[in-house]
Amino acid sequence: MAFDIKQAVSLLKKEVADYQVPVVDLIAAQTKDPFKVLVATILSARTKDEVTATASRRLFKHAGTVEELAVLSVTKLEKIIYPVGFFRNKARYLAALPAVLQEKFSGRVPDTIDELIQLPGVGRKTANLVVAVAFNKPAICVDTHVHRIMNIWGYVDTKTPLQTEMALRDKLPPRYWLEINSILVAFGQGTCKPRRPHCDRCVLKDLCPKNGVTPRKTQNKTKATQTDSQVYTFVSWNVNGLRAALKKGFLDTFFELDADIFALQEIKALPDQLPDEIKQIAGYHVFWYPAQKKGYSGTAVFSKIEPKNVIYGLGDHTFDSEGRVITLEFNDFFFVNAYFPNAQPKLKRIDFKQKFNNTILASMDRFAEKKSVVLCGDLNVAHKPIDLANPKANEKNPGYSAQERAWMDEVVHAGYVDTFRLFNTDPGQYTWWSYRFNARAKNIGWRIDYFLVDPGSRDRVIDAAIHDDITGSDHCPVSLHFR
Ligand code: SF4
């Protein structure tokens, strides 16, 4: 039986009305400016909507017109648009854009696909989107969601997005051309996800032939929303390079621990350098915060619960260029994932670390005035003699210097709770071991990875643990059960 496209679009329009509006449509609605739509569309490729929205806002403060964009250098543009995907390439495209617009189109943004694809960084998909969204002209923007879902429905039978676009031009009633992309992007992100779509709660479940689909199993522990009585599992792990960890079975550990929120430090990679299997894990919202310097630092968070808000960094470029802190805000708690700086041999970077420490503590204090705060990550400090194998020998070394311990004292005196020590006061409980001297086998280690909670949230802590049997990094994961 032929797929009933009319009924499907009608049902989906109601369904996605509450979903987030795709960022490019939002910018079109807010500005009615083809230049801004074009720029936001270029930024949006391979980038999450919230990251595109923030980067676009920043960029439009500096360059709201073609003329203003023309005076920005590639280096300046890289800084402004970071961390959108492929930010270096996109900065180059944007820097070249004003001259091409001027030379070929007298400084205006063209309104046809053939003209738009002559611009730097503009492919067929971007061109279709700009024509449809900025100029309200018939165009079908076929991205991966449209291509994938149209084939699942059996409405087309195609191998590539371009074939899908051509097939839809023949078949799809023109009244749907403008809106189909926005509808299917929202639907593809929210329900008909690329891996294991939510067929069980889909409005089209009786209509859809589900061609080639493996629906997700309903799992009790998968939580799409937050409710009062839940107990959450949080995991934090310094993976010391996510690409290396993936080769050592990271995903097996990830699924085995089945955390509601899984926080990573020291990912040492840009999302573009990672395989799709880690970028799109069904049931998780993923937030990346890589460092600007390649192969260094960086954090990421995977969350089953959709946060209300995501804050990248601490508002200080000195630290934020190193991608050290991501904060997710939920209904009744903030989740702060942090990779604290290493003070470095001879404490060369102690001033930098102290400034970072003071800044993040002030930020936690501000959050704690509003609701619970959970801070996790590699704090790069062992607090007490019990927290490392050789305290005496390390008293002047980074990670156990007097200054770093004094900061931990300050945190604890302020009432923050080192959750692991609520449940385990034994020595020999470590989270990091040097790769040298067979240190892990001999358990010559340091406890430098923590879950801390604010003073008012001690009663919300149910359990905390160190998973020192899990390998794949020189750190092991730590976890917290929190209600
Ligand atoms: S029933 Fe499943 S495969 Fe079909 S549209 Fe809905 S979520 Fe997608």
Please list the rounded mean pLDDT of every run of 10 residues in the chain (483 residues): 91 79 69 88 80 87 94 93 84 95 95 94 88 86 89 93 92 89 84 78 92 64 51 95 94 86 97 89 92 95 95 93 96 97 96 96 95 97 96 96 96 94 91 93 95 94 89 94 92
208 lines ligand 1 (CB under 6 A): yes
Pocket test for ligand 1, best of 146, 148, 191, 207 (most atoms within 8 A of CB): 191
Q: Report the pLDDT value the prediction gives residue 178, as an integer from 0 to 100.
A: 80
Convert the pLDDT of each residue in 201-218 to its tens digit: 899 999 999 998 876 654
Catalytic residues: 378
Q: Is 19 left (phi over 0), alpha (psi -120 to 50) or beta?
A: beta
Q: Report the pLDDT value the prediction gives residue 198, as an integer from 0 to 100.
A: 82
Domain ranges for the chain, please list them.
5-201, 232-482
Residues linked to residue 334 through DSSP beta bridges, in sequence order: 329, 373
Atom of ligand 1 nearest to the CA of 197: 7
Convert the pLDDT of each residue in 414-424 to its tens digit: 999 999 999 88
Structure letter (DSSP) for residue 475: B
Q: Is 23 left (phi over 0), alpha (psi -120 to 50) or beta?
A: alpha
Interval between CA 123 and ligand 1 midpoint (Å): 28
Q: Report the pLDDT value the prediction gives residue 226, as an integer from 0 to 100.
A: 58
Rounded Cα gap, residues 74 and 71, in angstroms:
10
Contacts 24+ apart (CB under 8 A), 99-105: 99/70, 101/66, 102/66
Q: How many CB atoms lie within 10 A of CB 442?
A: 10
- Whether the upstream peptide bond of residue 83 has omega within 30° of 0, thus cis, is yes
Atom of ligand 1 nearest to the CA of 199: 2
Rounded Cα gap, residues 265 and 291, in angstroms:
11
Q: Report the pLDDT value the prediction gives residue 227, as an integer from 0 to 100.
A: 56
Interval between CA 256 and ligand 1 midpoint (Å): 27
Atom of ligand 1 nearest to the CA of 208: 4
Rounded Cα gap, residues 183 and 13, in angstroms:
7
CATH superfamily membership of 5-201: Hypothetical protein; domain 2 (1.10.340.30)
Kindly give the residue spans of alpha helices, DSSP state H, lying in 32-73: 34-44, 49-62, 66-70
Rounded Cα gap, residues 87 and 78, in angstroms:
6
* Architecture of the domain delimited by 232-482: 4-Layer Sandwich (3.60)
Rounded Cα gap, residues 123 and 334, in angstroms:
39
Q: Report the pLDDT value the prediction gives residue 219, as an integer from 0 to 100.
A: 39
Pocket test for ligand 1, best of 192, 198, 211, 216 (most atoms within 8 A of CB): 192
What token pair was written down for 373?
Answer: 């705060």
Q: Report the pLDDT value the prediction gives residue 24, as an integer from 0 to 100.
A: 73
Q: Report the pLDDT value the prediction gives residue 221, as an integer from 0 to 100.
A: 38
